[in-house]
Amino acid sequence: DAMVIQNPRYQVTQFGKPVTLSCSQTLNHNVMYWYQQKSSQAPKLLFHYYDKDFNNEADTPDNFQSRRPNTSFCFLDIRSPGLGDAAMYLCATSRDPGLARPQYFGPGTRLLVL
């Protein structure tokens, strides 16, 4: 089945130690998104790639970066994680960024910062 895969499902890192979260998709979609969801809150968009075009949300901290080496993979890099970055990180994809195109989410990676 075509799907969005996130690895690992749980990630533990230390305060200030860089961490990378991975997302892959078999849907061959052009757009990949990263959302952050803190405990008891709704998901919040960090940024997205439309093909190789990177689009950052205005309020996304500089501590968060992303890479998309090819259509199938996208990475979320947190350069210096703080305790406030502990959250569920969700990857989503869509065929294109149009209003009528649903986004399909992966299972998420839960990040714990010690």
Partner 1 sequence: DAKTTQPPSMDCAEGRAANLPCNHSTISGNEYVYWYRQIHSQGPQYIIHGLKNNETNEMASLIITEDRKSSTLILPHATLRDTAVYYCIVRVSSRRDGTASKLTFGTGTRLQVTL
Please name the residue that has the structure tokens 């968060």: 64
Binding residues among 58-87 for partner 1 as defined by CB under 8 A = none
Task: Give the shortest CB-101-to-partner 1 separation in angstroms.
Answer: 8
Q: Which of 105, 111, 112, 114 binds partner 1 (CB under 8 A)?
A: 105
Interface stretch with partner 1, choices 12-20, 40-48, 68-76, 78-86 (CB under 8 A): 40-48
Strands of 8-95 (E only): list them: 10-13, 19-25, 31-37, 44-50, 53-56, 64-67, 73-78, 87-94
Task: Give the shortest CB-42-to-partner 1 separation in angstroms.
Answer: 4
| Dihedral angle, C-alpha 88, 63, 55, 37, nearest 10 ° | 20
92: how many CB neighbours lie within 10 A of its CB? 21
Task: Give the shortest CB-102-to-partner 1 separation in angstroms.
Answer: 5
For partner 1, the binding residues (CB under 8 A) are: 4, 6, 33, 42-45, 48, 50, 55, 57, 88, 90, 92, 96-100, 102-108, 110
